[in-house]
Structure 1
Amino acid sequence: MAGPQYVVTHGGHPAQSELHTGRAIFTEAYAVIPKGVMRDIVTSALPFWSGTRVWIIARPLSGFSETFSQYVMEVAPGGGSVRPEPDAAAQGALFVMEGEIVVTLGGERHRLQPGGFAWLPPGSGWTLANEGSRHAAFHWIRKLYERVEGIDVPEPVFGNEQDIVPLSMPGTAGRWATTRFLDPDDIRYDMHLNIVTLEPGGLIPFEETHVMEHGLYVLEGKAVYKLNRDWVEVEAGDFMWLRAFCPQACYAGGPGKFRYLLYKDVNRHTKLGGFGR
């Protein structure tokens, strides 16, 4: 049986002979960034990173993401950073799709291969290197950690999705399951990163409308997603951002599994009186 798949964007440019048939959408409630628009021309460089380019697919912005930034990182052999995170208040979550990276934290080296995950506490002083012979590609999600008096910051977490048993959603007979990298019952975490899997024909059968902001990167398969008022086709390599309370539902539409990497903010009171109070 084939193992998990992770579709990776490799950039490049379309030929001048191609038609413009993109699916990119940006609205007040959601955005869809298809894999086909993640080209060389929209990459960025980052301070203190070598041999690296990045697609920034979400960032705090008026009318867009409010709680997180999400990067798709591509690091060449020998590349990486000894000063990756410039903000001492930011936590980080990494998910590897291709190649191999070594994350060093507190003097310990952690080798992450496809499916590998790391949660990195704020101010932890981690570093990252590609010591392999091929490019590495991974997601890096950054969020300011919301400290709460009397609640400790969690310890670092390292693992791989292939070592985690997916949990079936109630009443779905396994057709809708979630792989949880962080303990959902641990109040110390103010974000979750999961992999959601829908078997062929599986569905989210109601329009979820709730406070969590979402970032969804499709790892495998295809589906039709209900986003606010619209039904949108998505496939592996696409990214979706959903504002808090944006209605959402989906049907898995392909012959194989539909899987996506899901970020959401959790476990904290809503801010009153506007941002920055």
Structure 2
Amino acid sequence: MQKNYYFPEGGHPPQTNLLTDRAIFTEAYAIIPKGVMRDIVTSYLPFWTNTRLWVLSRPLSGFAETFSQYIMEVGPSGGSNRPETDPRAEAVLFVVDGEFHLTLGDETHLMQSGGYAFIPPGTEWSLRNESGAPTRFHWIRKAYEKVDGVPLPEPIVTNEREIPPSPMPETDGRWATTRFVDPSDMRHDMHVTIVTFEPGGVIPFMETHVMEHGLYVLEGKAVYRLNNDWVEVEAGDYMWLRAFCPQACYAGGPGKFRYLLYKDVNRHMTLGNPGRLA
């Protein structure tokens, strides 16, 4: 079944528009609403052709430091044979519109709407849009944290249609998570999942935890509690949460509320300047 995923198309608002919008940046969280993802805030990357992107998050000292997230827009015949220039970087790609060919080593995969790919650090890969229309996808990057005795994870290529969501306990299916990676697999130091709420579904307590979050709303609308504030969010909005930012949610309907979620997992907390042993 075809899923509905919101994606930006750029453009520029008319001079008659009001200046104000729902964008906000606080010490605990940021909201980047869909209305600010215009042509003027796009970026470009080395070794990519016919491609532009919106940068949703980047490591910032004192805020969220573990990851970056882009929405990529690759036009016909666009792509890259050298997409990643940082050998430490692992990646997740999630397709929200169109299609492209992803080559990992000697294998090429056709990635279509709903497609998910995990790319381990040091992997040789390339991407090419051979269709006649633009393709759009999320690219989440993180510097992989190696652990002595824990092997690197292997590449994963799948589609969310192939993975049944896992209902949260005692929710009657109103709150469910599509997991692309086994949470107990210690090879992985980040998870990218899809969270789905049925109308009326809630996060019924103020989650307060160490994971940093990036939440891109794929579909629907909801009211989110972030730190001390209730904020309304809808498809196309992005929430960027610092570690320990309290959060809760109420999905008001009329349809499903779904978002793509990043979080860092499965590693010791990095310590500051170590003390000297006598």
Q: Percent identity?
A: 68
Paired residue secondary structure (1:162) = helix
Distance 1:41 1:271 in 2: 37
For residues 42-82 of structure 1, the C-alpha deviation after alignment (integer angstroms, 9 at most, x for no partner) is 00010000000010110011243200000000000100000
Give the 3 Å change call, closer, same or farther, for CA 124–257 of structure 1 in structure 2: same
The one-letter code of the counterpart of 2:199 is P
- Counterparts in 2 of 1:1-277, with a 5 A limit? 3-273=2-272
Provide the aligned length of Structure 1 versus Structure 2.
274
After TM superposition, the runs of 4+ consecutive aligned structure 1 residues lying more than 4 A away are none
Alignment RMSD: 1.1
Distance 1:14 1:231 in 2: 27
Distance 1:251 1:194 in 2: 19
Give the 3 Å change call, closer, same or farther, for CA 274–256 of structure 1 in structure 2: farther
Paired residue secondary structure (1:36) = helix
CA contact (8 A) 2:167 2:174 kept: yes
Paired residue secondary structure (1:249) = strand
Paired residue secondary structure (1:179) = strand
Q: Tell me the CA shift for residue 274 of structure 1.
A: 5.6
Q: Tell me the CA shift for residue 268 of structure 1.
A: 0.1
Q: Tell me the CA shift for residue 125 of structure 1.
A: 1.1
When the two structures are superposed, what TM-score results if normalisation uses the length of structure 1?
A: 0.97
Give the 3 Å change call, closer, same or farther, for CA 274–222 of structure 1 in structure 2: farther
Unaligned runs of 5+ in 1: none
For residues 113-136 of structure 1, the C-alpha deviation after alignment (integer angstroms, 9 at most, x for no partner) is 000000001010110110111100
Distance 1:81 1:33 in 2: 27
The one-letter code of the counterpart of 1:246 is C
Q: Tell me the CA shift for residue 4 of structure 1.
A: 2.0
The one-letter code of the counterpart of 1:18 is N
CA contact (8 A) 2:64 2:243 kept: no
Unaligned runs of 5+ in 2: none
Paired residue secondary structure (1:57) = strand
